[in-house]
């Protein structure tokens, strides 16, 4: 079933006055516009008179700009090079305005393939790119491992020949851990009192957690001063790397800091902490950046979007190692004495018996007519053999007088 459109019938009367609309001219204009919009309609309007040349002028005045823009866009889509040039002009601003999560998901496959292709083609290119990033991290890690080794060695040598060292060596044997680990466990006494999470760019305090009974001044003022010290040290030594001061010592307090892409984590520690604490600080900062990277990057002083960070810092500030106070080990001393007293008595008796026997042998050897050939001790008894003149002194009488 088909349907047809009746041709437009134009009224054949003239305007009754000057203010009345010229319907014929208006109809011709509409037909001409329809022809330009969709040429297929041309066949449906056979009854319409041929367009007046003046209509072309009117068309250009009314829709000429749109026709020109439509033609330009059509040519642009038909030419890949021109389309690429046009897209390249707006791509940077479009990328900047796009959602970070959606943009990352869209570009991740292409970037992964590009990196994989680059590595297959020339692995050294990626090595040269990552060299400035990995070298400081590797150097810092090696330095921390060396400090950790020397710390363990110094503490082990310090207690190796002491009573504590003997107890710790027994504990090492019983638990299966190394002696150095046991020494560090008992000798390094520390407590994490404060933790500051500071924005890298502005120096504003993101959050602060303090241990119980720990005192300090205004946390916001402290974070600003720490940022100022970091900037001063970096500018003074013309340090262009992303790091900074990682250790500051003030009396019994140590300030250990780790720098991340958007935030710096500073821990205030009292005492003598182990070097492994650096790794704990680094892991906490890395976990915070993984979970709250966008909020850290866009931080403007409002910490409402980083409420969960305080919980992680709270678990970190609870780290401490106190000196064990178990009192005098009376039970251990009694057990040792029960072993040492009988052993000492047996040793004294054995020594006295040996001295008496040697004195007897010496008297025999000094007697004329007696030659001692052999002497032995077996099972707590002494045996002697030799030669004796019948006229010589009796060995039994000499033994009773010893």
Residue of higher predicted confidence among 244 and 210: 210
**DSSP code per residue over 71-120:** HHHHHHHH-HHHHHHHHHHHHHHHHHHS-HHHHHHHHHHHHHHHHHHHHH
pLDDT-wise least confident of 133-142, 241-250, 308-317: 133-142
Residue of higher predicted confidence among 170 and 160: 170
Mean pLDDT of the chain: 74
Q: Tell me how far apart the terminal alpha carbons of the chain are, to the nearest angstrom.
A: 148
Note the pLDDT of residue 333.
72
- pLDDT beyond 70 at 244: no
Which tens digits make up the pLDDT trace of 26-83? Answer: 767 776 776 666 656 555 555 545 556 777 777 777 777 887 888 877 877 777 777 7
- pLDDT beyond 50 at 294: yes
Angle at 342 between CA 338 and CA 345, to 5 degrees: 140
pLDDT-wise least confident of 147-161, 165-179, 369-383: 147-161
Q: Which of 363, 191, 222, 174 is nearest to 384 (CA)?
A: 363
The helix or strand, by DSSP H or E, that contains position 271, with its residue range, turns out to be strand 263-271
- pLDDT beyond 60 at 8: no
Query: Quick check: helix, strand or coil at residue 256?
Result: strand
Note the pLDDT of residue 166.
72
Claim: this prediction has a pTM higher than 0.75: no
Contact predicate 256/269, CB 8 Å: yes
Split at pLDDT 50, 70, 90, the class of 6 is: very low
Region 157-180: mean pLDDT is 71
What CATH number does domain 192-321 carry, 3.30.450.70, 3.30.70.1400, 1.10.630.10, 3.90.550.10?
A: 3.30.450.70
Note the pLDDT of residue 178.
73
Q: CA 163, CA 198: separation in Å to the nearest integer? A: 45
Other residues' Cβ atoms within 10 Å of the Cβ of residue 288: 24
Max Cα–Cα distance, the chain, nearest Å:
185
Note the pLDDT of residue 12.
43
Instruction: Tell me what percent of the residues of the chain surpass a pLDDT of 90.
Output: 0
pLDDT-wise least confident of 95-99, 132-136, 305-309: 132-136
Residue of higher predicted confidence among 146 and 52: 146
Note the pLDDT of residue 70.
82
Split at pLDDT 50, 70, 90, the class of 253 is: confident
Q: CA 364, CA 396: separation in Å to the nearest integer? A: 10
Q: Which residue has the tokens 């009746």?
A: 6
Token pair for 75: 């040519």
Region 255-270: mean pLDDT is 87
Note the pLDDT of residue 241.
55
Instruction: Tell me what percent of the residues of the chain surpass a pLDDT of 70.
Output: 70
Q: CA 309, CA 301: separation in Å to the nearest integer? A: 15
Region 91-97: mean pLDDT is 75
**DSSP code per residue over 281-317:** HHHHHHHHHHHHHHHHHT-SS--GGGTTHHHHHHHHH
Q: CA 322, CA 59: separation in Å to the nearest integer? A: 91
Token pair for 45: 């309007």
Note the pLDDT of residue 163.
66
Note the pLDDT of residue 331.
65
pLDDT-wise least confident of 122-126, 232-236, 239-243: 239-243
Q: What residue spans define the domains of the chain? A: 23-78, 122-187, 192-321, 336-400
Which ranges of 161-275 does DSSP label H, i.e. alpha helix? 163-175, 179-187, 219-236
Buried/exposed code over 378-388 (b: 16+ C-beta within 10 A; e: otherwise): eeeeeebeeee
Residue of higher predicted confidence among 318 and 382: 382
Hey, which residues does 374 pair with through a beta bridge? 385
Q: What is the DSSP letter of 264?
A: E
Region 291-309: mean pLDDT is 81
Which tens digits make up the pLDDT trace of 185-234? Answer: 666 677 888 889 988 888 888 888 888 777 777 778 888 888 888 777 77
Q: Helix (H) and strand (E) counts for the chain? A: 12, 8
Note the pLDDT of residue 238.
66
Contact predicate 384/364, CB 8 Å: yes
Region 75-104: mean pLDDT is 73
Region 145-173: mean pLDDT is 69
Split at pLDDT 50, 70, 90, the class of 19 is: very low
Q: CA 52, CA 368: separation in Å to the nearest integer? A: 168
Phi-psi region at 329: left, alpha or beta (left = phi > 0; alpha = psi -120 to 50) = beta
Contact predicate 288/212, CB 8 Å: no
- pLDDT beyond 80 at 258: yes
């Amino acid at each position: 079933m088909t349907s047809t459109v009746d041709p437009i019938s134009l009224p054949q009367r003239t305007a009754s006055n000057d203010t009345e609309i010229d319907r014929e001219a208006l109809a011709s204009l509409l037909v001409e516009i329809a022809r330009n919009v969709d040429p297929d309609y041309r066949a449906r309007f056979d009854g319409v008179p041929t367009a007046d040349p003046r209509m072309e002028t009117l068309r250009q005045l009314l829709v000429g700009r749109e026709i020109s823009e439509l033609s330009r866009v059509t040519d642009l889509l038909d030419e890949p090079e021109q389309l690429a040039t046009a897209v390249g002009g707006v791509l940077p601003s479009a990328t900047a305005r796009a959602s970070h999560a959606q943009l990352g998901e869209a570009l991740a496959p292409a970037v992964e393939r590009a990196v994989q292709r680059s590595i297959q083609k020339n692995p050294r290119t990626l090595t040269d790119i990552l060299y400035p990033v990995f070298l400081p991290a590797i150097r810092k890690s090696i330095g921390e491992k060396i400090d950790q080794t020397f710390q363990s060695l110094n503490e082990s040598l310090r207690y190796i020949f002491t009573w504590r060292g003997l107890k710790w060596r027994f504990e090492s044997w019983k638990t299966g851990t190394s002696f150095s680990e046991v020494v560090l466990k008992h000798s390094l006494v520390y407590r994490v009192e404060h933790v500051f999470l500071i924005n890298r760019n502005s120096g504003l305090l993101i959050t602060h957690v303090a241990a119980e009974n720990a005192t300090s001044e205004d946390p916001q003022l402290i974070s600003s001063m720490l940022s100022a010290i970091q900037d001063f040290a970096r500018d003074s030594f013309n340090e262009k790397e992303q790091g900074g001061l990682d250790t500051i010592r003030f009396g019994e307090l140590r300030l250990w800091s780790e720098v991340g892409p958007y935030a710096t984590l500073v821990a205030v520690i009292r005492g003598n902490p182990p070097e492994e604490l650096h790794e704990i600080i680094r892991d906490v900062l890395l976990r915070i950046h993984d979970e709250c990277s966008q909020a850290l990057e866009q931080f403007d002083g409002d910490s409402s979007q980083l409420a969960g960070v305080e919980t992680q810092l709270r678990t970190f500030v609870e780290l401490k190692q106190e000196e064990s106070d178990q009192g005098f080990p009376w039970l251990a001393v009694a057990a040792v004495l029960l072993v040492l007293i009988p052993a000492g008595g047996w040793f004294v008796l054995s020594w006295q018996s040996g001295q008496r026997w040697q004195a007897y042998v010496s008297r025999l050897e000094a007697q004329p007519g007696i030659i001692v050939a052999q002497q032995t001790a077996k099972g707590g008894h002494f045996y002697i053999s030799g030669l004796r003149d019948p006229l010589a002194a009796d060995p039994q009488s000499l033994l009773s007088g010893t």
